[in-house]
Amino acid sequence: MPVDLYFILGSAGAKRRIVLADLVSEGLMPEDRAAVLLSDAETPDEAGDAALAKSGATLVRWHWEKPELEFEVPAETTHLFLVADGRSNPIDQIEALRELLQINAELRLARVIFVADAALLAAKPEVQPWYDACAHYADVVLLTRPEGLDQKWVNGVEKRYRDQCCPFLYEVVRRDQIKNPAVLLVPEARRVSQVFDEDIALADETDEEIE
């Protein structure tokens, strides 16, 4: 049976590891075995790494030898969470993932999850195209770090995407906890893009990297 793969997009400071710890701890069954793959370019995150360790997920590193993603799936893994390099172009990594899935029948894309840093977007509105590129490929968008931001602005982030009729699931993550993690892990496509379903070219919405 193929391993369910979840591709996690987002910037390096978006609390992706803490979100993943909640997904693994609360969203999987006791018999499931999760592995989290972090880019070897990602720096340590004390709180996130501690949360992942507590979740019971196996932590390994992946390497990007462009254009290929290189990693090994730990034995007995049922759910694989591949965390994108948060400081590199997401489109390049999505292209590499698509090619990997085309040649590796042991992996099945379950969902693409975009962990969007609200505080970063509020402070640097110029990153909006980068966010939109990630959202275009996402089945789930989780808005993290909303604390201290104007609630009207936070609501406006969702409204903007809803006005565009984006089909992805959307949630504002408060106190680092997801309302219903199991629902977010259901392997059902809700993304705008069809690049994982058809042999079509990617639309490179952004060539930029993000800090």
Give the pLDDT confidence of 69-113 residue by residue, as tens digits.
889 999 999 999 999 999 889 999 999 999 999 999 999 999 999
Given a cut of 90, is residue 21 above it in pLDDT?
Answer: yes
Given a cut of 60, is residue 203 above it in pLDDT?
Answer: no
Neighbours of 112 (CB within 10 A): 29
DSSP state of 15: -
Given a cut of 70, is residue 202 above it in pLDDT?
Answer: no
Q: What is the pLDDT of residue 87?
A: 87
Per the CB < 8 A criterion, the answer to whether 100 and 94 are in contact is: no
Given a cut of 80, is residue 198 above it in pLDDT?
Answer: no
Q: Element (H or E) spanning 157, and its range?
A: helix 151-163
> pLDDT digit string (tens) for 126-160?
999 999 999 999 999 999 999 999 999 999 999 99
Assign 3-state DSSP to the chain and report helix, strand, coil percentages, each to 5.
35, 25, 40
Phi first, then psi: give them for residue 20, nearest 5 degrees.
-60, -40
Q: What is the pLDDT of residue 207?
A: 45
Q: What is the pLDDT of residue 211?
A: 47
